A and B are shown apart, each in its own frame.
Chain A
Amino acid sequence: MSMQGMLRRFGRGRKAGTMPSAGEALGKILIVGSPNVGKSALFNRLTGQYVTVSNYPGTTVEICRGRSSILQRHFEVVDTPGIYSLCPITDEERVACRLVLTERAAAVVHVVDAKNIRRMLGLTLQLIEANLPVVLALNMADEARQLRIAIDADRLSTILGIPVVETIAISGGGMAELAAAIESVAQTKREAAGGEPVDYGAALERAVNTVAPTLGDDHGISRRTRALLLLQEDPAEASRVLGRRSPEHTDAVLQALHDARALLEHSPHYYATLALRGRSDRILDAAVCFPPRGRHSFRETLSRLCMHPLTGLPLLAAVLYFGLYVFVGKFGAGTMVDFIQETVFGRYVTPYVEQAVNALLPWPVWRDLFVGDYGIVTLGIRYAVAIVLPIVATFFIAFSILEDSGYLPRLAMLIDRVFKKIGLNGRAVIPIVLGFGCDTMATMVTRTLETKREKVIASLLLALAIPCSAQLGVIMGLLAGRPWALAVWAAFVTGVFLLTGFLAARLLPGQRPSFYMELPPLRLPRVGNVLVKTYSRMVWYFKEVLPLFILASVLIWLGKLTGVFDLAVDALKPVVGAIGLPDGAAKAFLFGFFRRDYGAAGLYELQKTAAMSGRQLVVAAITLTLFLPCIAQLLILKKERGWKMALTTSIGICVVALAVGWSANALLTVLKVTL
Chain B
Amino acid sequence: MICSFCGKEFDEQSARKACGRCSVMGGCHKVKCPHCDYEMPEEPRLVKWLRKLWNKRHDHAVR
A→B interface (CB under 8 Å): 34-36, 60-61, 82, 84, 89-92, 403-404, 406, 408-409, 430, 434, 441, 444-445, 448, 517-518, 520-521, 532-533, 535-537, 539-540, 543, 636, 639
Contacts and interface: CB of A to CB of B under 8 A. Distances in A.
B41 A521 contact: no
A90 B14 contact: yes
A41 to B, nearest CB: 13
A517 B6 CA distance: 8
Which 10 residue pairs of A and B lie closest in terms of their CB atoms, listed nearest first?
A520-B7, A448-B37, A540-B41, A35-B9, A536-B41, A403-B4, A91-B14, A539-B44, A90-B34, A537-B41
A598 to B, nearest CB: 19
A90 B6 contact: no
A345 B41 CA distance: 29
B28 A441 contact: yes
Contacts of A536: 40-44, 47
B29 A543 contact: yes
Given A409-B5, A518-B6, A445 B39 contact: yes
Contacts of A520: 6-8
Interface of B: 4-11, 13-15, 17, 22-24, 28-30, 32, 34-44, 47
B4 A404 contact: yes
Contacts of A532: 43, 47
Nearest to A446: B37
Nearest to A632: B24
Contact of B10 (A60, A90, A404, A434): A90
Contact of B39 (A82, A441, A535): A441
Nearest to B31: A536
Contacts of B44: 535-536, 539
Contact of B47 (A35, A408, A409, A535): A535
Contacts of B24: 444
A527 to B, nearest CB: 14
A466 to B, nearest CB: 15
Given A89-B35, A92-B11, A517-B36, A408 B5 contact: yes
Contacts of B6: 409, 517-518, 520
A90 B7 contact: no
A406 B7 contact: yes
A599 B7 CA distance: 36
A639 B23 contact: yes
B55 to A, nearest CB: 13
A82 B14 contact: no
B37 A430 contact: yes
Nearest to B43: A536
Nearest to A537: B41
A444 B30 CA distance: 12
Contacts of A521: 7
Contacts of B28: 441, 540
A430 B33 CA distance: 11
16 contacts: A34-B9, A60-B14, A89-B35, A403-B4, A403-B5, A409-B6, A430-B5, A430-B36, A434-B39, A441-B28, A441-B30, A520-B8, A521-B7, A533-B4, A535-B44, A536-B41
B46 to A, nearest CB: 8
A540 B29 contact: yes
Nearest to A449: B37
Given A444-B24, A536-B47, A543-B29, A36 B37 contact: no
